[in-house]
Amino acid sequence: MTRTQPLTTTQPVTMAQALNRALRDAMAADERVLMFGEDVGALGGVFRITDGLAAQFGPQRCFDTPLAEAGIVGFAVGMAMYGFRPVIEMQFDAFAYPAFEQVFSHVAKMGSRTAGRVRLPMVLRVPTGGGIGAVEHHADSGEAYYAHTAGLKVLTPSTPADAYHLLRAAIEDPDPVVVLEPKKLYWARGPLDAPAQPAGLGGAVVRRPGRDVTVVTYGVTVPLALEAADLAQAQDIDLEVVDLRALVPFDDETLVASVRRTGRCVVVHEAQGFAGMGAEIAARLQERCFHSLAAPVLRVTGLDVPYPAPRLEHHHRPDVARILQAIGRLQWDDQPDVHHLGGFPPSTPAPSSAAPMPDTRASVPAPAAPLMAPTPEPAARTDPPVTVGVSAVAR
Amino acid sequence: MERLKEAYRAMVLARRFDAQAMALAKQGRIAAYPSSLGQEACQISVAFALRPTDWLFPTYRDGNALLTRGIDPLDVLVPVRGYQHCGYDPYVHRCAPMATPLATQALHGAGLATAARCRGEDTVALVLLGDGATSEGDFHEALTFAGVFRAPVVFVIQNNQFAISVPRARQSAAPTLAHKGIGYGIAAEQADGNDVLAVLAVLDEAVAQAREGGGPRLVELHTYRMGPHTSTDDPGRYREAALTESWRRRDPIDRLAAYLRRHGGLDDAAQAGLDLDADALAATVRAGVATPPVVAPTEVIDHVYAAPPRSLAEQRAALVAELAASDVAERGTR
């Protein structure tokens, strides 16, 4: 990787600043790198990720396009075919959908279609996910669509340092790369010059080593997993948090090594669960770690709903309580997990698969402390839990 | 006159190539083939109008444009022969892969033309489209981008009157498809697509002004798809034979032959020589199709990424092991 100057920032920076710095450095290092999309020029992008690039590099290298996402992607394909390395911004997750045909039928397939004669070194930056109180169509998590599409690489950072290094690596990669930028973390601060491990395409990182459970996650839910790990520690449950960073290529090695050690795994992501990344991860783990697993791999995901209105989004998004609840269901007492075994109690409305569920079946012995202590009826969730104790939510 | 004689030769060869491919498709020797019978004047003219340094963005029905561009006929047919999705190196011939999703390649042409201009080159991109493709969103976006960035790109619509079975009138209420250029601030014109002199004149001018910095151009060529959509189609279900007959009287090859004969550019001996060359081309195609290439099965994996990620490398190893076990590896896929 060519850098114009060493990364000497000692002050914590936001992820937005780190991404901006990555673009700035990449454009300075390689004049073939272009940045274009909607509002990325004079405005600097609606999230200011491209702030100052047009001024520094000129309108030939950072420029606004017509408001047409398929156009942006298709135009970038043509420019990449002719020697440029376009970085394009989709502005918002759900606004990337008009470009799907270009992404799926051309960007992802060009290598296959031309027997490897044409490569498309281009980067699609997609501000992704919810948790920022945005109106509809501004909070989708579309990683499964991209990850399902052979020919793409898919990255998603959770720290400013990773955001910098992953974006630089994406720009230098010979293949098309989708970088999903968690909007909620744009303003989270962290050091820029100290990645826990070198971020590359395909390298997961252990954010927090632990003994008892592997919590696998990526992007916006990484801080949640770390928070859950702190809370679980108080209950003497030691969580290992693995941040995938790259969904494609997938780092089986790091994940398998962790799960073979801990024997238990919970996958956390904000996207709806059905046919999502969590399903792929759970399948891969049971294929590779079956004899190491003490419990089924559980998923804590968004509900299987279109992204809700902003006042209700906290009901949809995974939170620390749901992560800890899943931890509690990992068959610590060697008893079967009743969650999927029977009907729901008639007195309570059927909760969704991810919602807290009381155990009122007399036939199932009350599990032992600490994580399986009897639980009160879950109240309707109205606000994000502020403080969560493990025993209060475990079931 | 010399250029028209060359054009005539190219059209005769194109028609023979198309007829041979259609016959092979009907015999089940190649996959469903999209014939361009009747569109020869359009097909050969785009190749005639471009320099070797220019780029062509064809659709699946533009095999004769590729043939005229100089691509090996057997390579042109590779997608329907079934070994790869594109049988030629796009960088060698400056031809993008034939696009099957409609109008998507128009954006690639606009982007590549802009990239070439950014590099200070005078390269022009020529994008081929059908009448149906003008209803697609990507057509609209391509003209939008080309107009805004003044890309040196020429969009050529071969209006062959039918998008599979749906007639031109069902695609747009616009009086002509060339009218669509107005909304994007793009100069547009139309020509008789079965009159090779008109087509060459219009394309020469459009390419020249794009090369000179005049911005994009939209050209509608009125022609007719004499054959079915593909070898599996049945035009009898959706169009009158009388309509097809009326277009047969405007056949582009017959018209140019008549012109050439009247002006001393063609005689029986020259025609006989051309027919022999066309027969030789057809024989080459038949022999080539009968002699399939050996393609390593691992090619389905090897080109997806510059280097396969580990999970895909594992699948490749499994495929190799599977082939070794069934002893197919040495023979390849035939």
- Catalytic residue numbers of B? 225, 229, 238
Q: What is the pTM of this model?
A: 0.90
| pLDDT of the residue at A333 | 86
Burial of A362 (0-12, 13-18, 19+ CB in 10 A): exposed
pLDDT exceeds 80 at position A334? no
Å between A102 CA and nearest CA of chain B: 7
Query: What are the angstrom distances between the C-alpha of B160 and each of B32, B129, B282?
Result: 19, 10, 25
Beta strand residue intervals within B17-142, DSSP E: 55-57, 125-130
pLDDT confidence band for A10 (50 / 70 / 90): low
ipTM of this predicted complex? 0.95
Q: Is B319 helix (H, G, I), strand (E, B) or coil?
A: helix
Cross-chain Cβ contact A83/B119 below 8 Å: yes
Query: What are the angstrom distances between the C-alpha of A101 and each of A97, A104, B91, B226, B291?
Result: 8, 5, 24, 31, 35
Of residues B141, B309, B310, nearest to A74 (C-beta) = B141
Å between B209 CA and nearest CA of chain A: 21
| pLDDT of the residue at A229 | 98
Of residues A74, A106, A249, nearest to B309 (C-beta) = A249
Cross-chain Cβ contact A114/B106 below 8 Å: no
Interface test with A, best of B117, B138, B144, B150 (most A CBs within 10 A): B138
Two structure tokens written together for A64: 């606004």
pLDDT exceeds 90 at position A348? no
How far is B175 from A84, CA to CA, in rounded Å?
A: 39
Of residues A71, A112, A119, nearest to B107 (C-beta) = A71
Two structure tokens written together for B202: 């219009």
Could you identify the residue written with the tokens 């405005």? A43
Of residues A68, A115, A249, nearest to B303 (C-beta) = A115
DSSP string, B250-305: T-HHHHHHHHHHHTTS--HHHHHHHHHHHHHHHHHHHHHHHSPPPB-TTHHHHTTS
Per the CB < 8 A criterion, the answer to whether A297 and A286 are in contact is yes
| pLDDT of the residue at A326 | 97
Per the CB < 8 A criterion, the answer to whether A391 and A355 are in contact is no
More confident residue, A193 or B137: B137
**What tens digit of pLDDT does each residue of B128-181 get?**
999 999 999 999 999 999 999 999 999 999 999 999 999 999 999 999 999 999
pLDDT confidence band for A11 (50 / 70 / 90): confident
Å between A127 CA and nearest CA of chain B: 22
Across the range A58-76, mean pLDDT stands at 98
Q: Is A109 helix (H, G, I), strand (E, B) or coil?
A: coil
Q: Name residue B247's amino acid.
A: W
**pLDDT under 50: residue ranges of chain B:** 329, 334
- Which residues are CB-neighbours of A43 under 8 A, at least 6 positions away? none
pLDDT exceeds 50 at position A392? no
Å between A392 CA and nearest CA of chain B: 40
Active site residue A138: yes
Interface test with B, best of A65, A79, A82 (most B CBs within 10 A): A82
Across the range A178-194, mean pLDDT stands at 92
Q: Name residue B168's amino acid.
A: R
Cross-chain Cβ contact A249/B86 below 8 Å: no
Cross-chain Cβ contact A114/B119 below 8 Å: no
pLDDT confidence band for A193 (50 / 70 / 90): confident
Q: How many CA atoms lie within 13 A of A356 on its CB side?
A: 26
**What tens digit of pLDDT does each residue of A254-283 get?**
999 999 999 999 999 999 999 999 999 999
Q: Which of A194, A164, A146, A243 is nearest to A8 (CA)?
A: A194
Closest chain B CA to residue A76: B111
Per the CB < 8 A criterion, the answer to whether A207 and A169 are in contact is no
Could you identify the residue written with the tokens 């290094």? A165
Burial of B247 (0-12, 13-18, 19+ CB in 10 A): middle
How far is A182 from A131, CA to CA, in rounded Å?
A: 9
Plot region of A236 (φ>0 → left; ψ -120 to 50 → alpha; else → beta): left
| pLDDT of the residue at A358 | 40
**What tens digit of pLDDT does each residue of A82-96 get?**
999 999 999 999 999
Give φ, ψ of A243 to 5 degrees.
-100, 115
Per the CB < 8 A criterion, the answer to whether B328 and A174 are in contact is no
Using a CB-CB cut-off of 8 Å, the residues of chain B touching A68 are 140-141, 144-145
User: How much is the mean pLDDT over chain A?
Assistant: 86
Per the CB < 8 A criterion, the answer to whether A27 and A53 are in contact is yes
Cross-chain Cβ contact A77/B89 below 8 Å: no
Q: Cis peptide before A249, with omega less than 30 degrees from 0?
A: yes
Could you identify the residue written with the tokens 């390593």? B296
